[in-house]
Amino acid sequence: MKALSVVGYLMMVGGLLGLIFYRQVFSPSPFVIAPQAAAVGLITWARITFGRRSFHVAANPTEGGLVTTGPYRLIRHPIYTAVCLFTVPAVIAHWSAVSVACGILVLASAFLRVFLEEKMLVGRYPEYRQYAARTPRMLPFVF
């Protein structure tokens, strides 16, 4: 599972780098800027809440207990949510085969990582099932 999570991470980064390389990330439209700014805020809030725990390329539940505060009390995967929230407006604003392909790569790999991490979290933290039952994965009332 960890090896597959590394592949997912590399695909996500590859999709984002593709959007950057083809200059299909930013837009002057407030309909792009607003969600991308919110995404940056969400990822920053999540990282600050997560604390000094190290970042792992492979999905790997860290020591120190399950984090259920900050954005984690609203959604289980705020960092992946932020990546998707940053990517989708870019794809819509620069609609092309390249942007759609890069966007699909980012979203598919984020979902892959979500499901892999959840399998590992259930094994690591028995209380994760209760947390998951009351907290949406990424989008309240939807997913």
Q: Reply yes or no on whether the pLDDT at 34 is more than 90.
A: yes
pLDDT tens readout for residues 39-93: 999 999 999 998 877 677 777 777 778 899 999 999 999 999 999 999 999 999 9
Residue 83: count of CB within 10 angstroms of its CB: 23
The CA distance from 125 to 134, in Å, is 15
| pLDDT for residue 54 | 65
pLDDT digits (tens, 9 = 90+) for 79-89: 999 999 999 99
Q: What is the mean pLDDT of the chain?
A: 92
Q: What is the pTM of this model?
A: 0.91
State the pLDDT confidence band at 142, using cuts at 50, 70 and 90: confident
Domain edges within the chain? 2-53+64-134
Residue 93's pLDDT is 97
Q: Give Cβ neighbours of residue 101 (< 8 Å, ≥ 6 apart).
A: 18
Where does the pLDDT of residue 128 fall: very low under 50, low under 70, confident under 90, or very high at 90 and above? very high
